[in-house]
């Protein structure tokens, strides 16, 4: 069946910070939306539908907040959808919006994801009360640390690899004006000397807790033709899910992640991701997930991901830059983090990434995951309209 | 085979199976996944499909009802998502999960979809919980609950001369009388109107609070015909939202329902059935007006409303008979589809709502092949 090609023609983000005390939740989302519209040189009247995503409602203490946000997002009289797929939600939300255009249900869609984590405490919001979870499994770090350790054991990766990722991402963030953490005095020694939080994950190897929003305007071929800036074209997009826990689950390299990437590559005609993809924005909330996902996404052979990181391949000037924006390690409004990955990938192929631009990026990947490493959402965007 | 009569989309997509739980005041002995799983098994068995053969799966639920973050990750266990599946979730009524799945099928990326939704209201105080759904700065601090807000709407209707307490009581009585034939309903037969909950709404004007789940299978084109003897083709579907603040809206009307109905093609041809997600008796009055169904709602829903072309409104008993949160809207689509499946309807409108005083509304038109 003949789908409408989907293009990203507008991108807007807030400056991500620990606490946006100066704005309401509505003010936060509207800021990103207005910037996306301005980037596309469109107005609210050009938007046919709004697709919004965020992680658990407990983070702000508002049940189904999209109902209250309809006014601020110009959705009155229009369709509005609310997606929630755990940490992958920012990516899933963009894909749901893209499908509305691809199916020719709507011409131009505003998609937005946010989290205002300063309204609550995300770590405890993610921790179930005893007896449903053991008392020391606090927050996402407690859940993922054993899987990081399993990766280290399985591959024999040296202990320092995690700190290299954190050091790289925090330096990349200095080139991204929207990034939350701007640690101008960061050194590798400081990362390695930071306190151990969830062994083997140190404080400086974890994501911050951020307030922020990210928005994109998606449209079809006709809308792209009117776009004042180069559009980013969606060459492939997919979601995959698997259960949280089951006998035989591979937490280090989940099958759902591998299947999701394979689907995206098939749609985009990618046969050698390492060579054919110019930049990757992957969801790395704890530093070790960079080498883990490099393998899961097919950029490295099994057991070899850490070698790419160690060799500097994933640096901004390496041959496979990973998280040129600074990534989740520098900015983490949880519900928005996936969409920021997708939007940053689009910025790269539009040539609009500013100081953290990968020169000549033609194809970039956005990646998000969530839950117990069980929900995956990915897209691959390109500078040129897809041919197939 | 010719397609459905009035389809306006790239692909013909139909509801080919529907299943729901019995809706109960409490289900303390069941986890959410235990509540959902039999419904999933039933709906898949009706089509002969296995979970792994479904092209796309989408669910709707609310963490606030479950009282924990990411509650939907547990119910995914009821699907059996292994090997991994293409799957998504909306923090909305399952009717919107169905919409997302329908869009997915329209892209051509899937030919079938499993849609499910569920809600357990029994663990908490639903009236209090729903106040957390309101504008957190200006409205939620006042703790106006869903019944109080619906009562404001009902009073506006009474003041405008659009209904009165006896007419509302008749809607409630008709719904529960029709629900006598619905084995899944929570309130069936004669139910006393009772005392005022919030004037002018009495207990009988309000939906029962309870737990329940529902599931639907969608399929495209000839596959739908293979899976179902008489598919319920979705010939139109659209949804719209309105301003959040009840003070910013004309509560006696539902502009969003009317716009959605226009886009879904409700007014292009007569309907014989309407399944309306009207949790409060007064909201049926609003929805009848917006959908052009006419009538006061006081006559039987079984098709004898002589003045209005015999439209059967909520023959299942509607949300006044069973209102499991996050599922009651999907159930309206399922009930309308089931009537088409068994030949009791040829063209039906199904409606779902969300938010205070019908803030957000979805409208679908379902049609059977000509007989």
Write down the ipTM of this complex.
0.97
Mean pLDDT of A366-380: 96
pLDDT of residue B302: 45
pLDDT of residue A28: 98
> Which residue in the set B80, B104, B360 is minimally distant from A80, CB to CB?
B360
Q: Which of B277, B303, B302 is nearest to B290 (CA)?
A: B277
pLDDT one digit per residue (tens) for chain B, 371 residues: 445 555 678 899 999 999 999 999 999 999 999 999 999 999 999 999 999 999 999 999 999 998 888 889 889 989 999 999 999 999 999 999 999 999 999 999 999 999 999 999 999 999 999 999 999 999 999 999 999 999 999 999 999 999 999 999 999 999 999 999 999 999 999 999 999 999 999 999 999 999 999 999 999 999 999 999 999 999 999 999 999 999 999 999 999 999 999 999 999 999 999 999 999 999 999 999 999 998 766 654 444 443 445 899 999 999 999 999 999 999 999 999 999 999 999 999 999 999 999 999 999 999 999 98
Query: Is the model more confident about A120 or about B256?
Result: B256
Structural element, H or E, at residue B224: helix B221-227
Chain B residues touching residue A244 (CB < 8 angstroms): 73-74, 76-77
List, as ranges, residues 111-130 from B with C-beta within 8 Å of A. 129-130
A96 touches chain B (CB under 8 A): yes
**Are B244 and A128 in contact (CB < 8 Å)?**
no
Distances (CA, A) of B104 to A95, A285, B78, B236: 10, 29, 22, 15
> Which residue in the set B86, B91, B99 is minimally distant from A239, CB to CB?
B86
B133 touches chain A (CB under 8 A): yes
Residue A68 has pLDDT above 70, yes or no: yes
What whole-number distance in Å separates Cα of residue A214 and Cα of residue A89?
A: 12
- Are A212 and A180 a contacting pair, CB within 8 Å? yes
B296 touches chain A (CB under 8 A): no
List, as ranges, residues 231-270 from A with C-beta within 8 Å of B. 238-244, 246, 254-256, 259-260
What CATH number does domain A7-122+208-225 carry, 3.30.1490.20, 3.40.50.2300, 3.40.47.10, 3.40.50.300?
3.40.47.10
Residue A381 has pLDDT above 90, yes or no: yes
A116 touches chain B (CB under 8 A): no
Which of the 8 DSSP states describes residue B111? S
pLDDT digits (tens, 9 = 90+) for A34-54: 999 999 999 999 999 999 999
pLDDT of residue B68: 81
**Are B100 and A81 in contact (CB < 8 Å)?**
yes
Query: Across the A/B interface, how many CB contacts are shorter than 8 Å?
Result: 181
Look up the CATH number of domain B13-123+209-227: 3.40.47.10
Token pair belonging to B343: 């030949």
Would you kindly state where each structural domain of chain B is located, as residue ranges? Answer: 13-123+209-227, 126-207+233-367
Residue A138 has pLDDT above 70, yes or no: no
- Residue of chain B whose alpha carbon sits nearest to that of A373: B73
> Which residue in the set B87, B92, B137 is minimally distant from A241, CB to CB?
B87
Question: Which one of A64, A96, A239, A371 would you mutate to disrupt binding with B, by most B Cβ within 10 Å of its Cβ?
Answer: A64
pLDDT of residue A367: 98
pLDDT of residue A141: 85
Q: B273: helix, coil or strand?
A: strand
Q: Is the peptide bond before B284 cis (omega within 30 degrees of 0)?
A: no
In this prediction, what percent of chain A has a pLDDT beyond 90? 91
Lowest average pLDDT, out of A15-24, A67-76, A123-132, A168-177, goes to: A123-132
pLDDT of residue B171: 98
The alpha carbon dihedral of A268, A273, A275, A277 has a sign of positive
Chain A residues touching residue B356 (CB < 8 angstroms): 67
What whole-number distance in Å separates Cα of residue A15 and Cα of residue B349?
A: 45
Structural element, H or E, at residue A189: helix A188-193
pLDDT of residue B297: 63
Q: Nearest CA of chain B to the CA of A356: how many Å?
A: 32
- Are B169 and B158 a contacting pair, CB within 8 Å? no
pLDDT of residue B306: 36
- Residue of chain A whose alpha carbon sits nearest to that of B354: A67
**Are A241 and B84 in contact (CB < 8 Å)?**
yes
pLDDT of residue A122: 76
> Which residue in the set B70, B88, B360 is minimally distant from A239, CB to CB?
B88
**Are B73 and A128 in contact (CB < 8 Å)?**
no
pLDDT of residue B3: 52
- Residue of chain A whose alpha carbon sits nearest to that of B139: A68
- Residue of chain A whose alpha carbon sits nearest to that of B238: A79
Q: Nearest CA of chain B to the CA of A321: how many Å?
A: 28
**Are B63 and A71 in contact (CB < 8 Å)?**
no
Chain B residues touching residue A86 (CB < 8 angstroms): 70, 73
Which residues, listed in sequence order, are joined to residue B349 by a DSSP beta bridge? B274, B365
CA dihedral defined by B157, B162, B165, B170, rounded to 10 degrees? -120
First-residue to last-residue Cα distance in chain A: 11
- Residue of chain B whose alpha carbon sits nearest to that of A48: B240
pLDDT of residue B295: 76
Q: Nearest CA of chain B to the CA of A289: how many Å?
A: 20
Q: What angle, 0 to 180 degrees and rounded to 10, lies between the N-to-C axes of helices B72-79 and B32-47? A: 40
Q: What angle, 0 to 180 degrees and rounded to 10, lies between the N-to-C axes of helices A89-102 and B94-106? A: 50
Mean pLDDT of A239-259: 95
CB atoms within 10 A of CB B237: 24
Chain B residues touching residue A125 (CB < 8 angstroms): 69
Chain A residues touching residue B248 (CB < 8 angstroms): 71
Q: Nearest CA of chain B to the CA of A29: how many Å?
A: 14
List, as ranges, residues 220-249 from B with C-beta within 8 Å of A. 238-245, 248
Token pair belonging to A136: 């020391």
What whole-number distance in Å separates Cα of residue A99 and Cα of residue A188?
A: 42
Q: Could you tell me which residues come within 8 angstroms of residue A259 by beta carbon, excluding any fewer than 6 positions away?
A: A240, B83, B84
Chain A residues touching residue B361 (CB < 8 angstroms): none
> Which residue in the set B85, B86, B88 is minimally distant from A96, CB to CB?
B88
List, as ranges, residues 325-364 from B with C-beta within 8 Å of A. 354-356, 359-360
Q: Is the pTM of this model over 0.90?
A: yes
CATH fold of B126-207+233-367? Peroxisomal Thiolase; Chain A, domain 1 (3.40.47)
A24 touches chain B (CB under 8 A): yes
Chain A residues touching residue B242 (CB < 8 angstroms): 70, 76-77
Question: Which one of A243, A261, A386 would you mutate to disrupt binding with B, by most B Cβ within 10 Å of its Cβ?
Answer: A243
pLDDT digits (tens, 9 = 90+) for A268-322: 999 999 999 999 999 999 999 999 999 999 999 999 999 999 999 999 999 999 9
């Amino acid at each position: 069946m003949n789908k409408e090609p989907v293009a990203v023609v507008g991108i807007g983000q807030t400056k991500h910070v620990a606490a946006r005390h100066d704005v309401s939740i509505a003010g936060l989302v509207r800021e990103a939306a207005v910037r996306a519209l301005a980037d596309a040189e469109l107005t609210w009247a050009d938007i046919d539908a709004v697709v919004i995503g965020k992680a658990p409602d407990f983070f702000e203490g508002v049940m189904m907040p999209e109902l209250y946000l309809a006014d601020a997002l110009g959705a009155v009289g229009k369709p509005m959808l609310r997606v929630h797929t755990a940490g992958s939600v920012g990516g899933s939300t963009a894909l749901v919006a893209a499908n509305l255009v691809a199916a020719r249900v709507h011409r131009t869609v505003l998609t937005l994801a946010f989290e205002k984590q300063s309204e609550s405490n995300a770590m405890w919001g993610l921790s179930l009360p005893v007896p449903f979870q053991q008392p020391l499994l606090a927050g996402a770090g407690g859940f993922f640390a054993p899987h990081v350790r399993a990766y280290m054991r399985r591959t024999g990766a040296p202990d320092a690899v995690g700190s290299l990722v954190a050091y790289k991402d925090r330096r990349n963030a200095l080139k991204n004006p929207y990034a939350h953490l701007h640690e101008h005095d960061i050194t590798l020694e400081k990362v390695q000397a930071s306190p151990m939080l969830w062994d083997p994950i140190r404080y400086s190897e974890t994501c911050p807790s951020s307030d922020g929003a990210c928005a994109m305007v998606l449209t079809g071929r006709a809308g792209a033709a009117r776009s004042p800036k180069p559009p980013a074209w969606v060459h492939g997009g997919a979601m995959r899910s698997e259960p949280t826990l089951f006998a035989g689950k591979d937490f280090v390299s989940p099958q759902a992640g591998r299947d999701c990437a394979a689907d995206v590559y098939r749609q985009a005609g990618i046969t050698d991701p390492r060579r054919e993809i110019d930049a990757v924005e992957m969801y790395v909330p704890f530093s070790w997930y960079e080498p883990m996902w490099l393998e899961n996404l097919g950029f490295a052979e099994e057991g070899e991901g850490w070698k790419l990181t160690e060799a500097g391949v994933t640096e901004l000037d390496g041959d496979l830059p990973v998280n040129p924006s600074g990534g989740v390690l520098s900015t983490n409004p949880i519900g928005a983090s996936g969409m920021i990955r997708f939007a940053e990938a689009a910025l790269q192929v539009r040539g609009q990434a500013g100081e953290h631009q990968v020169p000549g990026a033609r194809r970039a990947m956005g990646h998000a995951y969530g839950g117990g490493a069980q929900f995956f959402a990915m897209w691959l965007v390109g500078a040129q309209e897809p041919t197939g | 085979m010719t397609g459905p009569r009035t389809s306006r989309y790239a692909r013909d997509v139909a509801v080919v199976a529907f299943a729901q739980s019995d809706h109960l005041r409490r289900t303390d002995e069941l986890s959410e996944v235990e509540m959902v799983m039999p419904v999933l098994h039933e709906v898949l068995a009706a089509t002969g499909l296995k979970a792994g053969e479904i092209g796309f799966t989408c669910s709707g639920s609310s963490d606030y009802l479950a009282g924990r973050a990411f509650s939907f990750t547990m119910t995914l266990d009821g699907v059996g998502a292994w090997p991994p599946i293409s799957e998504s979730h909306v923090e909305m009524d399952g009717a919107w999960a169905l919409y997302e799945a329908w869009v997915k099928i329209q892209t051509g990326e899937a030919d079938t979809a499993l849609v499910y939704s569920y809600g357990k209201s029994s663990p908490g105080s639903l009236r209090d919980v729903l106040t957390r759904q309101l504008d957190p700065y200006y409205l939620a601090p006042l703790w106006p609950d869903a019944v109080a807000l619906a009562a404001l709407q009902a009073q506006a209707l009474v003041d405008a001369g659009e209904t009165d307490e006896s007419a509302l009581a008749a809607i409630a009585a008709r719904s529960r009388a029709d629900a006598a034939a619905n084995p899944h309903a929570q309130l069936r037969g004669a139910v006393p109107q009772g005392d005022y909950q919030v004037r002018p709404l009495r207990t009988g004007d309000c939906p029962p609070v309870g737990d329940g789940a529902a599931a639907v299978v969608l399929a495209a084109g000839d596959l739908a015909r293979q899976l179902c003897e008489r598919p319920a083709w979705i010939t139109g579907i659209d949804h719209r939202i309105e301003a959040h603040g009840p003070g910013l809206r004309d509560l006696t009307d539902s502009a969003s329902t009317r716009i959605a109905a226009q886009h879904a093609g409700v007014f292009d041809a007569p309907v014989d059935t309407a399944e309306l997600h009207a949790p409060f008796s007064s909201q049926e009055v609003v929805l009848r007006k917006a959908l052009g169904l006419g009538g006061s709602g006081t006559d039987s829903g079984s098709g004898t409303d002589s003045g209005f072309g015999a439209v059967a409104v909520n023959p299942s008993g509607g949300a006044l008979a069973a209102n499991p949160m996050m599922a009651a809207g999907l159930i309206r689509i399922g009930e309308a589809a089931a009537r088409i499946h068994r030949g009791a309807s040829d063209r039906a409108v199904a409606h779902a709502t969300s938010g205070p005083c019908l803030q957000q509304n979805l409208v679908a038109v379902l049609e059977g092949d000509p007989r």
